[in-house]
Structures are given as structure tokens and as C-alpha cells.
Chains A and B, each alone.
Chain A
Amino acid sequence: MTKKKKVPLFWTWVLGSVVLRLILLYFPKNLNLSSRPEVSTPLTSLRRLAEGYWLKQSSISPYAGSMYHGSPLLLTLLGPLTVTRIEGQPDHLLCSLVFVIADVVSAMLICAVGEKLQVAYSSSLQLLGLRDLSENSELLPSGDFAALVYLWNPFTIVACVGLSTSAIENLMVVLSLYGACSRLAPLAAFGWVMATHLSLYPAILIIPVILLLGYGPDAPPRKLFRQRNSLEAGNSTVSDVYSEEKAKNQLKVANVFSWRPVVSFLFWTLLWSSYILVLCSMYVQQYGGLQELFKRTYGFILTIQDLSPNIGVLWYFFAEVFDFFRNFFLIVFHGNVLLMLAPLALRLNHRPCFLAFVYIVISSMLKSYPSVGDSALYLGLLGLFAYELKDMQFSFFLLSGYVGVSLLSPVMHNLWIWRGTGNANFYFATAIAYACFQIILVVESVSAMLNHDRTLTKLCTAMVQNVKS
């Protein structure tokens, strides 16, 4: 009943966000978003893509001159759109429409993921016997909520209107999560391979995707199921034998890592990646082949050659560091991302989706060329866990911080570049503040999630004791 009532409202909001984007698209000169360092990085800028396409059309390597560093597939998809102009319309209208569509599709996928997660979560809560909680968790349609958060997030809107290709990268990440949640191994593999191909960092998402395929969507800690299982076994006075059997089976299923979808995922990954590599090698055949491609894309990402300012912290650091320490610090900073993978995977392996969210936050914090598009993705995913994170601390502080930093950053940039009264430290200060807020966000959300698990454990043990006494 309530669901049906909410659906038109949901669609109005979705439509509203699309209309807002279309309105903003008509002020490209005035907003000038596509040249903002917060929006377009060397990897995501559409201007660079257009340049690469132009080079390709003139039979020069699209990677010549350190202008373009993205994927050749993106070049074939968006390149022709950058040169087609419609009379009387803004320059990159067709490209922007592609980004708007990508945003909406991502939002729909997030919505679907949210619904799947919610159904799975409430059923697993019911299995544990926590009926109150499972009803509570159904109150808030977290999928719709997350989709709207994603669509109406100013960061998403700015990235979309600012013609940043991060909308497509985000779409691929969400696609792989959706595929994994609904156990469609080919889809998950496609999303993962594409996301990795486009921006490299999503490669670390292979862990949560495998966990998702193996264990299924987020659930309470597994030991609770085991406890419950043993309790049910000892307590055979329950009347309905059939449903009991069924519940038992389900409880067992929750604990078992199923290898079949994982193997199929790996197989499909192999297939898709070889397919993409073949396509790419055909495209760059005359210009140095795959080796050149890897050097210009992944090499560019990993060695941080472009030190123009962005909202991350690495540009400043690598502008200051001595040349002979450069390699060392490159390893340190990239190792930093990898270092956190294993402990988090061990601690949060029963919540693979949340794990993916944490990974995305960490990678977008320590990325070599971060932009607001990355923040848009993880803030959208944060909405999926609205129920579990309802007791999160510092939420208000975080929101104020995000608002403050995102307004202060352009002002500091203006002070540095246009007025000349500030310097690079001014802008870097906002970048540090932004990184701090991201750290607080990830720390607080993980601790809120762990607290949520603790309360679940407490309730379960209390129930077990009640039954025993």
C-alpha cells in the first residue's frame, strides 16, 4: 500500500533531477564547470577526450602529447559525439545527454541493488527470529532513498553537467555490484572488467564481488546463524516441521560459500577482459599497440605524472617530493590502498556490499586523480545502508564539513589562480580538510556498522538465553 503510494513520488523526483540537469546544461559558458579542477581530471575531462579523438581522426596516436589518458573504447563511444554539433544548441549536448542517461541508469541500478539487499536482509533477520527488526528495516525503502541521494547529490549533478566521464565509470561499478547482488555472473564480470579498464582502481572490488557471489548479499554475522542453528537443533518442540526444515536449510545456505557462481564469474572475467583487450589492440594497432596503451593509461595513473591541482592530496605531495624518492613514495601511496584490503575483507566479509562501499571510499580518497564524481558514487551507495547506519555519529558535522569544503574549494582556487593573493597552500588546505572528512566518514560508518552487528549479537544471545532458561 505504502509502496504504491510512494512510487509516483519517486518518479517525480527522478524526473525532476533530469530536468534540473537539462536546464543546467544550457548554461555551459556561464557555469564553466568543465574546466573546474574539482570536476574534470586528466582522466575524466571530456575536452581531453575530444582532443584525443581529433588526433585519432588525423591518423595520429590519440595518446600523443600527453593529452588523453582514457580508454580507446570511450573514444569510440563518445568521440563521434564530441564533433557533432546541433545548430543553436550547446556544444557538447549529445555527450551530456549520454552522461544524464548514465546517471539515471546508475540510479536505477542502485535502486534495484537496494531492494535486493533489503529483501535479503529482512529475510535473514527473520531467520534469526528478530521479527521487530526485520519489520523496522522494511520501513525505509533504502533503494529508492539511495537512488534519489545519488541523483540529487550536487556532486553528481556537477560531475554530469561538467561533462566528466566519471558518470560512465560509476555506471560500470554499480553494474558490477548489481550483477553480483542478483548473481548474474556474466553481468558482474562485465561491470568489473569495464570499470577496471576505465579507471583501474575498481580492480580492488573483485574481493567484494566474489564475496557477494559466494555468500550472497549483506547479512548479520555468520556466527549468529550457527548459534541459531544449534539452538533449533536442540529445541525440537516447534510444531511446524516443514517450515522448520526449510528454515534450517536456509540457515545452512547462509553459511556456505558457493563456488559455482564464483567460478563462472572468473570464467566470464577472463572472457570479457580478453575481448576488451582484443578490441583495444585493434584500435591502437598502428600506434604502438597494447604496450603503449598500458603505459599511457595505467602507467599515467600509477606514476602520477600530471601534477595539476585537484581535490586529492597527492599532487601537492609529489610536486614537493625529491625525484629520487619519487618511486619509493609511489609504492607507499599505492601500497596504502592495498594494505587496507585484507583486514577490511576479513572483518566485513559478511557484508560484501558495505565492504565495496568502504573500498570505494578509500580508493577515491587515495586516488591519483580524484574528482567529485567519485564522491558522488560512494555517497549514493551510503544511502543503501541507511537502516544499518541510523546511529551513525557526527552525521551533521560531516554534512556541514562537506558543504563547507565544497564551497570553500572553488573560492580558494579563485584566490590562488585568479586573484593572486593566495597560493597553492590555500587550495591544498581544503584538499586536506576534504580528505579528513572522508576519513571521518569511513571510520564512523564502519564503526556504526560494527555497532549494529554488536546489537544484533546481543539481541540474539539474549534470545538464546531466554529460550534456554
Chain B
Amino acid sequence: MGANENSSAKPRVRPIVRLGIFLISHSNIVSLVCFLAGVVALLLLPVLAKNTYISENALMPGSANNMLSTHHVSDANKFIKDLTDLELRSMASPIESQKLIAQYMSALDAEVTFHKFYPQFSQFHPLHFFTSPDSGIISKNGTCSSFGVNTVGIIRAPRGDGKEAIVLVTPYNPNKVGLGEAVSLGIAYSVFSLLSHATWLAKDIIWFVADSQYGEYSAVASWLREYQAPVFHKVDIVTSETCNESSTFDELGQGLYLDGKLNGDFRRAGTMAAALVIKVAEQGNQYEDSLNIYAEASNGQMPNLDLINIVNYLAVHKQGLRIKVKKMWSLLDSWWLNTVGIIFESLGKIARSLNPQWKFGIPASEYVEGAATLASSLYYQGLGVPTGPHGAFRDYQVDAITLEISPKVSLTKVIRRNEFILRGGRLIEGVIRSINNLLEKFHQSFFLYLLTSPGKFVSVGVYMIPFALLVAPLPIVAAYLHSNASSSTPQNPSTLGVDANHKSWKWLNSARKVLIFHLWGVVVSLLPFFLCQLPNTTPTMNFILWGFASAFSLLILFFISGCPIFEAAASQPEKNRWTSLKSVTISTTFIGLSLMSVINFATAEIGALLIVPICLLARPLKLDIQAKSWRTLLRASCNIALGFVLFPPVAFVLLKGAFEDFYGINVGDYWNWVESLWAWNSATYLYVGVVHLPSWALCIHILFHPC
């Protein structure tokens, strides 16, 4: 009778359910295959990278002839000379140079304003991670004595309606104008002087000279905050009542007020279509003029790929600049990456010999270069810290990049400098002309991508595959363990339905424990907020305090919840409690990783590489040692090694050692690193605190589970 029932019930199972059951029952093999495939797919990314192309037709880069002539360059040279002369006169106050810039701007019929700001010092705001940028963050700690003055020049477009603008940013330090900064100002000036007479201009041009004495980013960010989200009363009161020494600021404009061109109030020019930050490196590149592109904004956000494409296209094809993006230099010489490159190359050759249509495989050297660039792209996106002042724009959905132009030889020679300014200026002019053609905001090309070289990228559709493969085992194993744990309850047919053990709710106990660990993670992430308030502490001391406070808070949480940290000798029906605990752990890790992949893909990818193996392998050491076969012992030792390596500070030190060197590392470095993360509101900090740390702690808890 029973057999009959079974045979009649079996064919009714739908194929998709059967597939699911198959996957779950073979979870060991499936997870191993998926994980390895994920790693291989990650290594394959440089091979799968596509060439960039300009997606928005309206941009038409390079279609018009350059109008920037030597005449503009000589003007710029005069400007640079005046600036550097001012620097040489040691008596001149920093205000003088700003005055000079403003004079030059107003001579070009631009509207000039000064923007005074109080720099904001990094502070830990635990609740500011996901709030919108205009939620009214007002600096309370900005002292009156330290303020910066940005100079802003605006050219109104003859053909525009004043509703759109393009921003040029040149950061410089008025206290100490270096030659590089002066040349970058000169390039911007040459373009600005050209644009002031350009008839084709459809968008207003804002030249923003950022006062970088308190950091480039904070100057740009404070101006943008004022531009996009004005605060109407509170700041005014602060400035007028408490700061009486703004006389220097008033004195600034006196010469210009008479001309009627300086505007006392804050000036705006429409929504920003794009922003370019121009920098010039003083140290020359030995071989040729080159251009470094920095694009990463906060939390791994990138500007639209089209912006990079235009710059890349114009720099390479029009100006003959060598274009570069950041690379992990230490990876270039690593033997294993070279080996992988050679393997892929030979695989590509085999594939081509089978079918010439298969264009698979790239030369090993190119592969290594691509991998090093990809690694740095992943690293900087994952860190979530912007790589330059362009990061501030992305918070307001403005696409921006930093262009760092480095000359072949030193810029002290005037002739060499002229040529350099002409090249740089023409590049900027071409880019601005392209953006000027834009009808809507950048939307056509990708926002989510990783660069493997300036001309090659991996789009979201491709780079999601390795991540999906990495995390795919997690739900499968969780389901396997969960079904194991719930089916292992002894069932007596006599007490049908009278089973007081709530069979399907047994996991609630484990869920409670997991919840406690994650709450602990939240507490640990909030602790630095209080530690910051302590005066006169060194990073090392802070770190040690943090460690103690964390351990203490874990104990307190367990005490409050009334949940024993380690169950005493487990009774028979609870023998499999660790499986249910592991299943809940794995599923929360899965949720955390998936969430993080939406917030910041690169962090999730790196995090998955680290945390997934131990989540899959974790098994009580006691069981493994009792079994005493070489497999279990191997697994136990793997678990111990992984458990040690994955403790966040240890992982940090190891990674730092791998990519830099171990020399001079102390525990305080971890504190400093973490401090930089929260100062930039990086979601990676939350990931480490709320997902990685609790998952790791739970895995360790499972390892030492008494079963």
C-alpha cells in the first residue's frame, strides 16, 4: 500500500522541483563546482572585457576642429607667470592670488563670485550612511579662523537658456601654488578664454577654482552642497554672529566691486551636465605626455562610461596622449597571474585552431595588465572612498572625472610648457564641445562597470556572473542543512500531530542566536562613535579599547538575551542543532552579500571570496577530530586556518602585507583604515561590521560547537 502511494506520488513532482531537490541533495559537489567556477569566471573577466564605444550619438567627439590657438596659450602663459610671480613675492597674502584669478576671470566677461566655506572635519556619523546628501548636514565644528575661499567664474552661454552647465574644477592651494597647480589653472584659463567668445556654446560654463588648503574634496563638496541644497537661515546666523574676522573676505572683493562684475551672492548656472577636474602632475613621465583618469566616487559609484569614452577617444586619437588608469603594480610581476595568463593564451590558441571564428584569448602580457587594472578597479570601488574631488559630484548624480595630465619633461621650460598647455587645452575643449552637444543627461552608456584598461570594460551583466556563482552555493547548502535539521527529528507515527516540538519552527532558536550575533555586529560598528569622543588617544590604544569593548558587549548581549553561549552537553534530539545554526548563518550571509552587491558590487565580490569558503566548510571541530580520517582532519585544519585568516584585522594585515609589505605594520593601522572608511561614509564599513564580522563569529562558534 505504502509503496503504491510512493510510486504514484513520484511522477507528479514537477521538473523544476525535481531539479531543486537534485541540487539540494548533491549540495557538496554543487557548491564545490559553483565556487571554483566563480573563481575561474573572476579570473576570466579580463579576457571577457569588451572594447568601449561611444554609445550616445549626440556626443560626436572630435567632429569639430579645435579652435584653441597659440593666442589663448600665450594668454594662459601670462596668467601662469603672474601667479607664480605672486608666489615668489613672499610678502603676498594668499588672498592676493585669489584676487588675481578673479581679475583674470572678470576680464573675460565672466560673472565672478567668491564662495567662503568652513571645512568639515571627518567625523563619525553612524546614521549618515544612507541619508540623501541634502539632509541638512550643518557643520558645527567649523572654527571661524579656518575658512577657505573658492573662486567661481561663470560664462553664460549665448545659445543656452541658462538651465544647464558644465563644470571645470581646478584645485589649488593659495598658500603654496606649485608649478603643476599653476599650469592646471593655466590650461583651464586658456579653455575658459576660448569659451568666453565661443558662439556655439549651449551650456553655461562654470570654472570652479577650489581652495585646496583643507583638502580638495571638502572644498568641492561644500560648494556643491551650497549649490544644490542651500540652507537658508542657520549658517548665516553662525557666520554673522560668531565670526567677526571675515574682514579679509570682504577686503577680497573691494577692488572688483567697483567694476560691478563681482557678485556678492551665490551664483548658479543650471543643472550640471558633467564636471571635469583638471590636475597637472609636476613629476614628469619619462616617455611621453600621459593622462591619468580617476573615476571612482563614493561607494563604488562610477560616472557614465561615455564620459570616460570621450576623454579616451580624444586623448588617444586627437592629442596623442598616453592614457592610463590605476593598476595594482604588485600584481604585474606575480608569477601566478602570469601563469594564468599563459594558460588562457594557450587555451585561446587551441580554441582558435578548432574554429577560427572563436575569438577567445588574449596575449598573456595583456591579460596580466588587464587583471592588474581590474584588481585596482575592484579595490578602489570596494573601498568606497572617492579617488578625488570628482567624487563629490556623484552624490548629486553629476558625472565627473579627474584628469591628471603629466608632462614628459619638467614644465619649467616655456616652449615645452606652451605645447603642453595647447595639448591639454585642446583635449578639454574637445570634451566640453562634446558634452555641449548632449541633449539629455548621460544615460545611454553604462554606470556599472569595471575597467580593465582605458579602452576596455567589463559590464554589469558579465561581472555579476562570477559573483552569482560564488554565492549560489549558499542558499543550496542552507536548504540542504535546513531540510536535514528538520527531518532529523524522530517521528513516532503513534503521536501523529501531537508532537509538541514545533517541528517546522525549530530553527527559531538558531535564528535568535544569529540575530544576537548580528546585533552585536551593529554594536561593534557603533562603538567607534563613542571611542572618537575620548581625547588624546593613539590609534593603537583605540583599537585595543575597541576590541575589549566588543568582546564585552558580546558577553552582555548573551547575558541579556538569556541564551547560553555554548550549550552544555547536547541532549539527543538537539544533536543536530549546529546544522540548523549553520543553515541560518549561511542564509543571513547570503542576504547580506546580495544586499551588498547592490550597494557596492566590488565589496560584495571581495567579501564573497573571503567569507563563502568558511561558511561552506564550517563544521564542529569535535566531530571532525572524532572521525579521524584524513579528509576530516584536512577539513578541520582548513577551518582553523580560514577562521584565523578571516578575522577582519588579521585579514587586513595579511592583505596589506601581500600588496605592500609587512614592514612597519602595527595594529593601529587597522584603526586608521577603519577611520578612513567611516569618514567617507563608505558602506564597506557597514559590511565589515554588520555582515562579515558576525558571519565570521558564527562560523567560529560553529567550529567550537560542543556536539
Instruction: Return B271 CB to nearest CB of chain A, in Å.
Output: 12
Interface flag for A411 (CB, 8 Å): yes
Contact B127 A30 (CB under 8 A): yes
- Give bound CA distance, A222 to B447, whole Å: 62
Interface flag for B143 (CB, 8 Å): no
Instruction: Return B658 CB to nearest CB of chain A, in Å.
Output: 31
Q: Which residues of B lie under 8 Å from residue A4 when comparing CB positions?
A: none
- Give bound CA distance, A400 to B397, whole Å: 33
Q: Which of A390, A412, A421 contacts B301 (CB 8 A)?
A: A421
Instruction: Return A36 CB to nearest CB of chain B, in Å.
Output: 11
Contact B130 A410 (CB under 8 A): yes
Interface flag for B595 (CB, 8 Å): yes
Instruction: Return B503 CB to nearest CB of chain A, in Å.
Output: 6
Interface flag for B591 (CB, 8 Å): yes
- Give bound CA distance, A393 to B594, whole Å: 24
Q: Which of B448, B505, B507, B583 contacts A421 (CB 8 A)?
A: B448
Among the 9-residue stretches A210-218, A353-361, A401-409, the one with 4 or more Cβ atoms under 8 Å from chain B is A401-409
Interface flag for A442 (CB, 8 Å): no
Interface flag for A3 (CB, 8 Å): no
Contact B496 A396 (CB under 8 A): no
Closest partner residue, chain A, to B397 (CB atom): A420
Which residues of chain A (411-440) have a CB below 8 Å from chain B?
411-412, 414-415, 418-421
Contact A32 B135 (CB under 8 A): yes
- Give bound CA distance, A180 to B639, whole Å: 58
Q: Which residues of B lie under 8 Å from residue A414 when comparing CB positions?
A: 130
Q: Which of A29, A133, A411, A418 contacts B595 (CB 8 A)?
A: A411
Q: Which of B132, B505, B598 contacts A418 (CB 8 A)?
A: B132
Interface flag for B231 (CB, 8 Å): no
> What 1/0 mask marks residues of chain A from 437 to 469 whose CB sits below 8 Å from any chain B CB?
000000000000000100100110000000000
Instruction: Return A252 CB to nearest CB of chain B, in Å.
Output: 27
- Give bound CA distance, A182 to B212, whole Å: 72
Closest partner residue, chain A, to B130 (CB atom): A414
Q: Which of A29, A399, A411 contacts B511 (CB 8 A)?
A: A399
Instruction: Return B586 CB to nearest CB of chain A, in Å.
Output: 10
Interface flag for A139 (CB, 8 Å): yes
Contact A391 B504 (CB under 8 A): yes
- Give bound CA distance, A136 to B397, whole Å: 59
Contact B505 A412 (CB under 8 A): no
- Give bound CA distance, A399 to B500, whole Å: 22
Given contacts A32-B131, A390-B503, contact A400 B587 (CB under 8 A): yes
Q: Which residues of A lie under 8 Å from residue B505 when comparing CB positions?
A: 390, 392, 395
Which residues of chain B (357-394) have a CB below 8 Å from chain A?
none
Which residues of chain B (493-552) have a CB below 8 Å from chain A?
496-498, 500, 502-505, 507, 511
Contact B598 A412 (CB under 8 A): yes
Interface flag for A245 (CB, 8 Å): no
Instruction: Return B222 CB to nearest CB of chain A, in Å.
Output: 19
Contact B497 A459 (CB under 8 A): yes
Contact A139 B511 (CB under 8 A): no
Interface flag for A27 (CB, 8 Å): yes
Closest partner residue, chain A, to B131 (CB atom): A32
Q: Which of A400, A403, A407, A421 contacts B447 (CB 8 A)?
A: A421
- Give bound CA distance, A139 to B500, whole Å: 9
Contact B504 A404 (CB under 8 A): no
Q: How many residues of B contact A (CB 8 A)?
A: 32
Which residues of chain B (447-488) have a CB below 8 Å from chain A?
447-448, 482
Q: Which of A396, A403, A408, A415 contacts B507 (CB 8 A)?
A: A396
Which residues of chain A (374-394) have a CB below 8 Å from chain B?
390-393
Q: Which residues of A lie under 8 Å from residue B504 when comparing CB positions?
A: 390-393, 395-396
Q: Which residues of A lie under 8 Å from residue B511 when comparing CB positions?
A: 396, 399
Closest partner residue, chain B, to A392 (CB atom): B504
Q: Which of B135, B448, B502, B599 contacts A390 (CB 8 A)?
A: B502
Residue of B127, B447, B502, B587 ringed by the most chain A CB atoms within 10 A: B502
Q: Which residues of B lie under 8 Å from residue A459 when comparing CB positions?
A: 496-497
- Give bound CA distance, A31 to B305, whole Å: 33
Interface flag for A320 (CB, 8 Å): no
Residue of B133, B301, B591 ringed by the most chain A CB atoms within 10 A: B591
- Give bound CA distance, A415 to B597, whole Å: 12
Closest partner residue, chain A, to B297 (CB atom): A419
Contact A136 B507 (CB under 8 A): no
Interface flag for A132 (CB, 8 Å): yes
Given contacts A390-B503, A408-B598, contact A31 B127 (CB under 8 A): yes
Contact A455 B497 (CB under 8 A): yes
Which residues of chain B (122-148) have a CB below 8 Å from chain A?
127-128, 130-133, 135-136
Contact B498 A29 (CB under 8 A): no
Contact A396 B130 (CB under 8 A): no
Contact B496 A411 (CB under 8 A): no
Closest partner residue, chain B, to A35 (CB atom): B132
Instruction: Return B136 CB to nearest CB of chain A, in Å.
Output: 8
> What 1/0 mask marks residues of chain A from 123 to 147 whose CB sits below 8 Å from any chain B CB?
0000000001100100100000000
Q: Which residues of A lie under 8 Å from residue B301 when comparing CB positions?
A: 419, 421
Contact B599 A411 (CB under 8 A): yes
- Give bound CA distance, A455 to B130, whole Å: 50
Closest partner residue, chain A, to B441 (CB atom): A420
Closest partner residue, chain B, to A420 (CB atom): B397
Q: Which residues of B lie under 8 Å from residue A396 when comparing CB positions?
A: 482, 504, 507, 511, 583-584, 587
Instruction: Return A266 CB to nearest CB of chain B, in Å.
Output: 39
Q: Which of A393, A404, A415, A458 contacts B591 (CB 8 A)?
A: A404
- Give bound CA distance, A421 to B459, whole Å: 13
> What 1/0 mask marks residues of chain B from 563 to 594 whose CB sits below 8 Å from any chain A CB?
00000000000000000000110011001001
- Give bound CA distance, A431 to B301, whole Å: 24
Instruction: Return B694 CB to nearest CB of chain A, in Å.
Output: 14
Contact B135 A29 (CB under 8 A): yes
Q: Which of B131, B498, B583, B594 contacts A133 (CB 8 A)?
A: B498
Q: Which residues of A lie under 8 Å from residue B397 when comparing CB positions?
A: 418-420
Instruction: Return B500 CB to nearest CB of chain A, in Å.
Output: 6
Instruction: Return A344 CB to nearest CB of chain B, in Å.
Output: 23
Q: Which residues of A lie under 8 Å from residue B131 when comparing CB positions?
A: 30, 32
Instruction: Return A429 CB to nearest CB of chain B, in Å.
Output: 11
- Give bound CA distance, A420 to B271, whole Å: 15
Contact A391 B594 (CB under 8 A): no
Closest partner residue, chain B, to A405 (CB atom): B591
- Give bound CA distance, A412 to B594, whole Å: 12
- Give bound CA distance, A391 to B599, whole Å: 37
- Give bound CA distance, A411 to B502, whole Å: 35
Instruction: Return B473 CB to nearest CB of chain A, in Å.
Output: 16
Q: Which residues of A lie under 8 Å from residue B132 when comparing CB positions?
A: 32, 418
- Give bound CA distance, A29 to B131, whole Å: 10
- Give bound CA distance, A19 to B654, whole Å: 43
Q: Which residues of A lie under 8 Å from residue B583 when comparing CB positions?
A: 396
Q: List 19 A-B contacts (CB under 8 A).
A: A31-B127, A133-B498, A136-B498, A136-B500, A390-B502, A392-B505, A395-B505, A396-B587, A400-B587, A400-B588, A403-B588, A404-B591, A404-B595, A408-B598, A411-B598, A421-B447, A421-B448, A455-B497, A458-B496
Question: Which are the 9 A-B pairs with shortest beta-carbon distances?
Answer: A30-B127, A421-B447, A455-B497, A420-B397, A390-B502, A404-B591, A400-B587, A396-B507, A395-B504
15 additional A-B residue pairs with CB within 8 Å, beyond A408-B594, A455-B496: A30-B127, A391-B503, A392-B504, A395-B505, A396-B583, A400-B591, A404-B595, A407-B591, A408-B598, A411-B595, A411-B598, A412-B598, A419-B301, A419-B397, A459-B497
